[in-house]
Structures are given as C-alpha cells and as structure tokens.
Amino acid sequence: MSPRVGGGWARLALPRLITPDLIRRSEPFAWIVALVGGALIVVAPFLPWAYDDAALDDMSVAFYPSVLQFLALALGAVIIAGTLLDRLIPRRRGSRAPGWRRGARAAATGALIYLALIMVTIALELGGLINVEPGGWLALAGAVIAFAGTRLIEPAPEPRFGELEGPAVVEILAVAAFMGAAFFAVVFALDFDDGGGFVCFVTFVGIAAAVLVRSGVMAWYSGVSSRRRPVLVTAAILAAILFPFTQGTSDANLSIATQVIIFAMTALGLNIVVGLAGLLDLGYVAFLGAGAYVAAMLSQSAFATIDVQPPFPVVMLISGCVSATFGLIIGSPTLRVSGDYLAIVTLAFGEIFRIAVLNLDGISGPDLTHGPNGIPAIPDLDPLGYDFGNPPPFLGIFAPLPRFANYYFLLLLILLFVVLVVTRLNNSRIGRGWIAIREDEKAAEAMGVNTFGLKLFAFAGGAFLAGLAGSVKAHHDISINPGQYMFLESAFLLSAVVLGGMGTVVGVLVGATLLKLAPEKLRDFAELRLLLFGVLLVVMMRFRPEGMVPSRRRQLEFHEEDEELAEKLDEGEPVPAEGART
C-alpha cells in the first residue's frame, strides 16, 4: 500500500510536487528541515518585524516581542516539539502513532498562513512591503522551510484518543482549562482596537483549533466534555456571567456582547427552520423586526403609537406571539412549495415587511411606525421601578459595571432559555421529524410524519424566538427604523447558521459570535468588510462545508464518501464510476 500524501491541502496544492517516492527518499533528513524552520520561527520574534509602531500591536522593538509575535513563537515551539517527539520516542510496529507528527504538520501550515497574513497586514497599514523589517521575513522564511520539511515526512495515521478515560480530577481540570482559555481569547479579542490585529488573532485561534484537531487532542476533549457535560455547562455559564466584570466601566465591548447575544438568539430561531427542518428562509429578519416594532409601539416612548404600556414580560410574550403569527401567515400558503420557490417567497416576505413598515407613516397608511423615521427615544426598561440604564449597584461593589450590564444579564438569561428550548426540541420526536423532513420529505410523509404541520411549527417556533430577541433589541438600541431590517441582515443570519454548523446549538453560537463581532472590529476596513466576508464564505464552503462545529450527521454527509474513496485508492482497489464525484 502506498503512503498517502496527506490532508486536503497537500492533495489539492501539491499533487505532483510531493510524491510518495519523494517522501521515502527525503524521510531521513526532512525532520531536520522541519526543526530548522521551527527554530527560525522561534528566534524571529526577538527581532523587529515592522518599521513603525503603528502596525498591528507594535512589532518594531527588538528583543521585546508583541503578543502577536509571541503567538508565532508558540507555533514554532509546537513544530519543534511535535517533530522531536515523533522522531525520538519509538513506537511498536503496527501501533497507531500519537498525533505529534500530525500536530507539527498542522502547526507548520498554520504558521505559514499566519505569518503571511501578518506581512500583508503590515504592508497595508504602513503602505508597502518595504516597511517589513528583516525579522518578519526571517519568520516567514522559517514558516516556508517548516512547511516543506513537515510535508516531506510520511503522514502518520489518524490518532484516536476519544475513548481514552483519565481520572475524574484530570478531566474536570481539562474542561475548566479549556473554558478558561476560550474566555481569555474572547476577552482578548474584544480588546483589539486594530482591525488587522483582530483578524490575525482570530486566524491564530482557528489555527490552534486545527492543530488540536489534527493531533487528536480535540477528539479526546470531545469525549471528556461528553462525560463531564454538567461541568462544561457550569463552566460556560460561569464564564458568561463573569464577562462584564472584566470590562471595567467601558460600554463599547459590553454593547457589542449584548448585540452578539441578540444576533445569536435570532440565529438559533433560524436554525430551527433551516438547520433542522431544511427550509430555506431568506426573509427571517422580518420576524426580528416585528418583535422590535411591537415592543417599541408598546413602550413609554413619547413617539410610541399605542397608548398601552403593559409590563415588559407581557410585552415579550406579545412580541413573540405577533412574530409567530406572521410565521403562520407566511407559512400556511407557502409551505406547499419547497426549494428555490420557498426561498423566493420568504425573500419577498422580508421585503414586504420593510415596505409595509415604511408605509405605516400616517400618510400612506395608519400611523403605527412613523414610516422611515422609525420610533426614537425608546426608554430603558424599568421593571418594578428598577432602571436598566444604571449598572446593578449590588454587583458593582468590587468593580463598577458598564451601562449595558443589566441588558447583558437579561439577554443571557433569555439565551439560556432559548438554548434549552432548542436543545429539547432537537432531541425530541418533533426534532427527529424535522430532520426526517430535511433529509427526504417524501419518505418522511410516506412513513406517517405530518410534514406540513411540523414545517408550520418550525416557522412559528423560530419566529417566536426572533420576536423575543426583537423585544429586547428595541430597548437596547433606543430607537428603531426600517433600515435595520434589510435583506443583508437575513443573509448574515443565514451565514451564521451555515458557517457555525446547521442543526447544532454550539455551532450556531460560534458562527453568530464571529459574524457579529468581526464587522464591529473591522471598521478600519469598512470598504473591505464584505470582501473579507465573501472570502471567508468561499474558504469555508471549500474546505469545511459542514461548518465550524458540525453535527456528526452533517460531517458524515460531507466527508464519508471522500474517505472511503481515498482508502480504496490507497489500497489499489478499483473505484466504480458511480462512486466518483462529478
């Protein structure tokens, strides 16, 4: 059996340059090349990378590495450690190799991408590659050498650590350490004021995740998190609660965090429609807008058009029910169609909602929304006389909290409720019915599944969750207008579901966080934000179409056939024509 050349990157980019015969001949010295490249990456951060301190996080000082330079150093250390451990620690014949070699290879590929991105960012921010100092070029050269060296080493078989069990204390500490690292990464990313630095840091986080996956550590952690789920959930909730206390009195980051939660709640509702039931909805933002407008019209604003101010919990229920009613209205006549026709109908509904809101201005129709002016001056929530515009005094004893802390804790509570509802639905008979409809509606109907009723319930349930999010969004944003609910927002919501992982809760939360956080941090690249978004979509759809945190079912759907074909080719078996991709 001939050795495989490696992962998708190698098979795609270097199918003729790196052959099995070349790997066999270069094996004795390839590991030395990888070590040399890793050593250059470790040494380079102690030299200046940029001519001016205005680029990224000040890489212009010798012997004083910045944070982004330290991250490059960490990748170099992983390359060295993985290569040495794989070379020096023998293993018995026939046993599965640990993931050191695979981890070193992933780190070398990631270092090349990361350092090339840093060089490009320095050139963009300072006005040309001439501003890149020798230390930067040395680091990039080390990454190229390490990449070549690790590619010339025969790939190791995939490690399988998922079934390994350790002491309970070790597993609990591992869960806590992982959540602590994730919490620190989020806080650190929010503190980046430089858009280029934010992109580089997020890229490093993605590379670190890829190294953990390729080395088998993530498979082991997945098994640990499954066994220690209560600890994982507790740690996640605790980290979310502690986040406002890390922001001091700064409103900016906490305002972004509250917007991320609103976006994530809405995306979870869309996940029911698209990810579970398989119904493509391109006008979903209309349900969010319906909930927001209902809350604004029932608020105590001087511009509110309905002279009724019920308690806010009642307003939330009314907003959710109005959005769910819209879901039923649009769903009843249109769910008889599917595919592209359903997408066109939902897109039209989103535009109809926006145009209707524009026309309810007292001239073209009744004065309910004030037309293009919207409803401004929406006051802060004041349930039981407690003003949400002031930080909670009983929580600010040790550190003052920003203004949006009250909204953050309220939204966090609602998000936990939404996650609980979506998780329960996903694992229930209704959720299995939605998945059956998504896979094959005709087969599901033949097996007795009430396809129309379940699809209608998916539309109404997802719309209700969007209405809940909209009711809080109106008070959080202080004012609302039709421009906030355009088609582009629906596209971003759909992208969050697809990029994160359709049908999963954690994946949608990750996708929503990334897509809502990135535009806020890339305001320096206002003209390039949509371009970067498009590049991200293309890269993800090519190399990870199942999403960042996919469900097991979706992962098998996208990759099972490729793995089977690769194994047959390795073993020299004939591949039938119908098994080949066209």
Q: pLDDT per residue over 504-533, tens digit each? A: 888 888 888 888 877 777 776 666 667 777
Is residue 388 assigned to a domain? no
Is residue 433 assigned to a domain? yes
Q: Are residues 125 and 260 in the same domain?
A: no
If we measure between CA atoms, which residue out of 537, 531, 532 comes closest to residue 496? 537
**What's the rounded Cα separation, in Å, for the pair 510 and 126?**
32
**What's the rounded Cα separation, in Å, for the pair 448 and 492?**
35
Is residue 61 assigned to a domain? yes
Is residue 577 assigned to a domain? no
Is residue 342 assigned to a domain? yes
Q: Are residues 188 and 280 in the same domain?
A: no
Report the Cα 318 to chain-centroid distance in Å: 31
Number of domains composing the chain:
2
Q: Are residues 501 and 445 in the same domain?
A: yes
If we measure between CA atoms, which residue out of 423, 441, 412 comes closest to residue 271? 423
Is residue 276 assigned to a domain? yes
CB half-sphere exposure, 284, CA atoms < 13 A: 35
Which residues form the domain of 199?
8-235
Domain boundary among 529, 544, 570: 529
Quickly count: other Cβ atoms within 10 Å of residue 379's Cβ: 15
Q: Are residues 213 and 264 in the same domain?
A: no
Q: Are residues 309 and 219 in the same domain?
A: no
- pLDDT given for residue 580 in this prediction: 38
- pLDDT given for residue 454 in this prediction: 86
* Cβ atoms 83, 110 nearer than 8 A: no
Does residue 318 register a pLDDT over 50?
A: yes
Q: How confident is the model over 248-256, as a mean pLDDT? A: 76
Q: How confident is the model over 81-109, as a mean pLDDT? A: 73
Is residue 261 assigned to a domain? yes
Domain boundary among 191, 210, 235: 235
In the chain, the largest separation of any two C-alpha atoms, in whole Å, equals 83
| Six-digit token string for 512 | 């929503």
Is residue 245 assigned to a domain? no
Q: Quote the pTM value.
A: 0.80
User: Mean of the per-residue pLDDT values for the chain?
Assistant: 78
Q: How confident is the model over 100-111, as a mean pLDDT? A: 87
**What's the rounded Cα separation, in Å, for the pair 182 and 186?**
6
> Please, which pLDDT band fits residue 3 given cuts at 50, 70 and 90?
very low
- pLDDT given for residue 23 in this prediction: 59
CA 47-57-38 angle, to 5 degrees, is: 40
Q: Are residues 368 and 326 in the same domain?
A: yes
- pLDDT given for residue 144 in this prediction: 92
Beta strands in 299-405 (DSSP E): none
Helices vs strands, H then E, count in the chain: 21, 0
Q: Are residues 39 and 135 in the same domain?
A: yes
Q: Are residues 227 and 267 in the same domain?
A: no
Q: Which residue has the higher pLDDT, 350 or 550?
A: 350
Instruction: Provide the percentage of residues in the chain whose pLDDT is more than 90.
Output: 7
Q: Are residues 72 and 151 in the same domain?
A: yes
If we measure between CA atoms, which residue out of 499, 502, 514 comes closest to residue 551? 502
Q: How confident is the model over 96-115, as a mean pLDDT? A: 82
Q: Are residues 192 and 268 in the same domain?
A: no
Q: Are residues 282 and 216 in the same domain?
A: no
Q: Are residues 74 and 209 in the same domain?
A: yes
